[in-house]
Amino acid sequence: LIPPVPAEDAVYYGYTELMIDADQDLTIWVGADDDAQLWLNDRLVWKGGDVAKDSFFGQFYLTKNTYVRDYNLSEGKRTVHFRKGRNKLFFKLSNGPTRLFFSLVLTN
């Protein structure tokens, strides 16, 4: 996700709901430029913290590759429990200078 009108020193919020067929644990893969928090059903499940992330950003921004276009921009993962039915995902993305994005991928 890249906000349609990115701004420096701004905060963005996002919300979505997922319908799940059965209670299950899934792995969330999260990446953000600069900092992000993610809540699942009102429980904090991801908290960034290192806004510099020089080694992470170098892989995507400073090399001639297609990672940004072709791959998930994950910096970490957590296994979390999704309940049967509606599950609420809410995120907060804080941006400093220049670029920004938020990436979330779910896997079994």
Residue-level pLDDT, tens digit, the chain, 108 residues: 777 788 888 999 999 999 999 999 999 998 888 889 999 999 999 998 765 566 566 666 666 666 655 655 777 899 999 999 999 999 999 888 777 888 888 998
Whole-model pTM: value is: 0.81
* Alpha carbon distance 56, 75 (integer Å): 7
Q: Which tokens go with 30?
A: 């999260």
Closest Cα partner for 104 from 22, 59, 46? 46
Phi, psi (rounded to 5 degrees) for 85: 100, -145
